Amino acid sequence: MSNEKTAITPSTHTAPPAKFSHGVRKGNILQVAGQVGFLPAEEGKAPTPVGPTLREQTLQTLANVKAVLEEGGSSWEDAVMVRVYLTDTGHFAEFNEIYNEYFADLKAVPAARTTVYVGLPAGLLVEIDALAVLG
């Protein structure tokens, strides 16, 4: 496996707001940058959250992480860690419900996960990043 460092940029993603990559692969490590619930990019349109609810944002965020994994030649099956940033401890139970539905058909063992409660830019309720080990 080559150790060349490559950027991963799904076509669904807007350009990052700073000099970072949505995903990076080097050797057998694939790191997905923190994703939020932005809709797929539209030319000339600023990044737009899918909607105000935890359900909408969680599903879109997971879709955005998945897009990076897949663009990098990987999938949820390779993910070893998922970091979840919520903004409200009151969202934990509902988040878990959505998370479980989303991963209901996952064939591999599920990734490890850490969930903590932080501040996020106004309107965003969830941010998720992931680490995958390929091969």
Sites of contact with a second copy (CB under 8 A): 3, 5-7, 16-29, 31-34, 77-78, 80-83, 85, 89, 92, 95-96, 99-100, 103-104, 106, 108-122, 127, 129, 131, 133-135
Closest approach of Cβ 122 to a second copy, in Å? 7
Q: Which is nearer to a second copy, 26 or 53 (CB)?
A: 26
Closest approach of Cβ 70 to a second copy, in Å? 15
The angle formed by the CA atoms of residues 49, 55 and 61, to the nearest 5 degrees, is 50
CB atoms within 10 A of CB 135: 7
Closest approach of Cβ 63 to a second copy, in Å? 17
Q: DSSP label at 37? A: S
> Which residues neighbour 125 within 8 Å (Cβ) at sequence distance 6 or greater?
37, 53, 54, 57, 58, 86, 87, 88, 91
Q: DSSP label at 110? A: P
Q: Which is nearer to a second copy, 50 or 68 (CB)?
A: 68
